[in-house]
Amino acid sequence: MKCFYTILFLLCLQQTLWAQDSTINIVKHSPKKATNRSAILPGLGQAYNKQYWKIPLVYGVLSVPVVTYVYNNDLYAKTKFAYEARIQEANGDISNVSKIDPTLKNLSAGSLQSYRNIFRKNRDVSIMWFIIAWGINVVDASVSGHLKEFDVSNNLVMQMAPMKSDAYQQAGLSLQFKWKYTK
């Protein structure tokens, strides 16, 4: 029985040592994690950096190209259909003319083709702006992740001091940076 209690005591001691060892590890902030998370889902890198106030800004900026894409894609589809119906009408088929959107009925085939091209270009540009906005979101998460542990304490010193150069026999100013390490 004494042997059983000894083994049980040693097992408990071992568990305690493992538990103490795991609390010693300090988890450092990883800019790579912030970058990857923001690349996967916009705003997730900002949440990892604990900059929650930026998340609505990220989604606000990303919503502008999404809304313009939906708007331009809808009008592109309508003008494309109306243009094709006008071309069919010129070839003698009037079956789709009645299905043209009422706002586009009075336009000629040339005007419809021009509007169609404009809406297609604007739709494609809004895709480009969405990708740029997503990229800016990723860059912001990465930069903020790198600056998370940036030291801005009073231990950093910058001084300007007079300097004399014997080699060139000149006088000037020198800029000195000093880091004071205190632990």
pLDDT in tens, 50-59: 999 999 999 9
Which helix (H) or strand (E) segment holds residue 156: the answer is strand 156-165
Residue at 174 is within a domain: no
pLDDT digits (tens, 9 = 90+) for 69-106: 999 999 999 999 999 999 999 888 888 888 889 999 99
23-27, 53-57, 169-173: the lowest-pLDDT one: 23-27
> Does the reported pTM lie above 0.85?
no
* Residue 61 clears pLDDT 80, i.e. is over it: yes
Strand segments (E) across the chain: 156-165, 170-179
Residue at 155 is within a domain: no
Residue at 109 is within a domain: yes
Q: For residue 25, name the pLDDT band (cuts at 50, 70, 90).
A: low
- Token pair belonging to 26: 């300090």
Residue at 44 is within a domain: yes
Q: Return d(Cα 58, Cα 34) in angstroms, integer.
A: 14
* Residue 15 clears pLDDT 80, i.e. is over it: no
Residue at 139 is within a domain: yes
Q: Which domain holds residue 114?
A: 28-150
Contact 25, 118 (CB under 8 A): no
pLDDT of residue 17: 45
Number of domains in the chain: 1
Question: CB atoms < 10 A from the CB of 57, how many?
Answer: 14
Residue at 49 is within a domain: yes
Q: For residue 172, name the pLDDT band (cuts at 50, 70, 90).
A: confident
CA angle at 107 for the pair 124 and 111, rounded to the nearest 5°: 45
Residue at 173 is within a domain: no
Q: Looking at residues 147-151, what average pLDDT do you find?
A: 80
Residue at 178 is within a domain: no
Question: CB atoms < 10 A from the CB of 144, how many?
Answer: 20
